[in-house]
């Protein structure tokens, strides 16, 4: 009697939270997810291209590593994405959902382009770069701090606010291009001044070095400093922050200033280091991809190197596959989508295990 009652009320399977998964097991699960993602992507591409299974992987890797130029491109793209990811991370750790990094980086780019347009050729190149840096950082900080002020003062929703600021930033860029480009083409050509010096002949090296340094700095900031400690306390529990006397408003604003500074640097890298121009799509969605990068890395700047590499690798590789087989340019998005489906799903299995009723039962506490 008793036992039938029990089996009747216990569900067929239970999802049980794992508490301490050994680190290598967690990584094994993640590795398995990456491999299965690769396999499934391969199968999908076979269906779409009707070519052999292997050709997909060949194209994918060729697109990223075949030429020196492509490899430089890879690192250059990683550095830009990583820079913006670093920018959003402290705020995210504080549970401030800033989805406006796109706009924050864009105004930075616009400000540095403005400096080139108005001062290019009139001041020495080094001074010009310093001015660009200052303008970009100032513009981005303003863009990032406005929503933070509203959040701190009136508890407005930062997600909507930062999102809307993106559109304002885009319109500003469109406006200034119209002001600067008198021909009416609506495209600001390549700017002649304000380029980063090519270290050892490598155009993108400075970008990469700057971001590498920033990564270490942000890591140190979050892990080792009092500010970083406050950020995690505010993110984990507002009540605790209140209890120990942390000034939450101050922390919110200070952290968004940091986000602004980093976004400003990203804008500078875009104008001075990569595109040498500005357009409404200069940031190219990196402000949103950065959220994914940061989140997947669990807000750890060092892991973010890995996740940003993965994103850029897939974008670049899948774009090559799409060109090789004349697939639509939605193909890279499909590949990336499938990939992250697996990666995100595997986190579930790393955190929970599924126990079936038939298996040995744990006595319920």
Partner 1 sequence: MEKAIAIQMKGITKRFGEVIANKDADLDVRKGEILALLGENGSGKTTLMNMLAGIYFPDEGKIYIDGKEVVIRSPRDAYNHKIGMIHQHFKLIDVYNAIDNIILGESFYFDEAANKAKIASLKKPEGNESRKEKFKRNIKLLAARLEKAGAYIKFNWLSRNRGEDIRAIADKYGFAIDLKKKIYDMSVSEKQTVEIIKVLYRGADILILDEPTAVLTPQETKRLFDVIRNMRDDGKSIIIITHKLNEVLSVSDRVAVLRKGEHIATVNTAETSETELTEMMVGKKVVLNIDRAEPKNPIDRLTVSGLSLINKENVKVLDNVSFTARAGEILGIAGVAGSGQRELLEAIAGLQPAATGKITYFKPESNEAVNLRAKTPTQIREMGVRLSFVPEDRLGMGLVGNMDIVDNMMLRSYKKGKFFFVDRKKPKSLAENIIKSLEVATPGTNIPVRRLSGGNVQKVLVGREIASSPTVLMAAYPVRGLDINSSYTIYNLLNKQKENGVAVIFVGEDLDVLIELCDRIMVICGGKITGIVDGRSATKEEIGLLMTKGRQMEQSPSTVGQRG
Binding site for partner 1 (CB under 8 A): 5, 8-9, 19-20, 224-230, 232-233, 236-237, 239-240, 242-245, 247, 365
Longest Cα–Cα distance of the chain, Å, equals 93
* Residue 80 · residue 270 · CB < 8 Å: yes
Residue closer to partner 1 (CB basis): 93 or 151: 93
Residue closer to partner 1 (CB basis): 243 or 348: 243
Residue closer to partner 1 (CB basis): 15 or 39: 15
96-133 exposure pattern, b = at least 16 Cβ within 10 A, e = fewer: bbbbbbbbbbbbbbbbbbbbbbebbeeeeeeebbebbb
The least CB distance from residue 220 to partner 1, in Å, is 8
The least CB distance from residue 90 to partner 1, in Å, is 15
The least CB distance from residue 155 to partner 1, in Å, is 13
Residue closer to partner 1 (CB basis): 192 or 298: 298
Which residues, at least 6 apart from 272, have a Cβ–Cβ distance to it below 8 Å? 112, 129, 132, 194, 195, 196
The least CB distance from residue 190 to partner 1, in Å, is 41
| C-alpha count within 13 angstroms, C-beta hemisphere, residue 332 | 19
Query: Residue 222, Cα to own-chain centre: how many angstroms?
Result: 17
Distance CA 60, CA 65 (A): 9
Residue closer to partner 1 (CB basis): 224 or 357: 224
The least CB distance from residue 4 to partner 1, in Å, is 10
Q: What Cα–Cα distance (Å) separates residue 106 from each residue in 76, 128, 170, 281, 303?
A: 18, 19, 7, 8, 25
The least CB distance from residue 222 to partner 1, in Å, is 11
* Residue 224 · residue 268 · CB < 8 Å: no
The least CB distance from residue 242 to partner 1, in Å, is 6
Residue closer to partner 1 (CB basis): 218 or 233: 233
The least CB distance from residue 264 to partner 1, in Å, is 21
Nearest to 149 by CA among 14, 266, 260, 313: 260
Distance CA 109, CA 264 (A): 7
Distance CA 73, CA 190 (A): 18
Residue closer to partner 1 (CB basis): 39 or 302: 302
Residue closer to partner 1 (CB basis): 205 or 231: 231
């Amino acid at each position: 009697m008793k036992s039938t009652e029990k089996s009747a009320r216990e569900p067929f399977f239970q999802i049980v939270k794992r508490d301490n998964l050994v680190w290598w097991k967690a990584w094994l699960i993640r590795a398995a997810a990456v491999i299965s993602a690769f396999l499934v992507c391969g199968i999908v591409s076979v269906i779409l291209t009707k070519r052999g299974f292997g050709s997909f992987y060949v194209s994918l890797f060729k697109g990223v590593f075949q030429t020196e130029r492509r490899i430089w491109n890879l690192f250059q793209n990683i550095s830009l994405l990583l820079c913006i990811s670093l920018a959003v991370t402290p705020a995210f750790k504080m549970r401030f959902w800033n989805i406006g990094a796109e706009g924050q980086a864009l105004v930075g780019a616009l400000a540095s382009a403005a400096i080139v347009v108005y001062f290019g050729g009139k001041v020495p190149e080094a001074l010009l770069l310093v001015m660009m840096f200052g303008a970009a950082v100032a513009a981005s900080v303003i863009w990032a701090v406005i929503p933070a002020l509203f959040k701190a003062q009136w508890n407005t929703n930062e997600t909507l606010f930062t999102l809307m600021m993106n559109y304002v930033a885009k319109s500003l860029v469109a406006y200034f291009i119209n002001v600067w480009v008198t021909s009416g083409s609506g495209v600001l050509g390549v700017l002649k001044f304000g380029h980063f010096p090519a270290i050892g002949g490598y155009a993108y090296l400075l970008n990469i070095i700057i971001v590498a340094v920033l990564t270490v700095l942000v890591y140190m900031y979050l892990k080792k400093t009092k500010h970083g400690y406050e950020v995690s306390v505010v993110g984990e529990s507002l009540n605790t922050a209140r209890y120990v006397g942390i000034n939450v408003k101050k922390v919110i604003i200070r952290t968004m200033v940091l986000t602004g500074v980093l976004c400003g640097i990203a804008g500078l890298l875009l104008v001075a280091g990569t595109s040498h121009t500005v357009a409404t799509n200069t940031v190219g969605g990196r402000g949103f991809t950065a959220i994914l990068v940061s989140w997947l890395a669990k807000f750890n700047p060092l892991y973010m190197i890995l996740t940003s590499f993965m994103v850029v690798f897939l974008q670049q590789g899948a774009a090559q596959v799409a060109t090789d087989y004349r697939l639509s340019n939605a193909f890279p998005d499909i590949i990336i989508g499938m990939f992250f489906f697996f990666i995100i799903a595997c986190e579930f299995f790393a955190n929970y295990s599924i126990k079936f009723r038939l298996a040995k039962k744990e006595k319920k506490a």
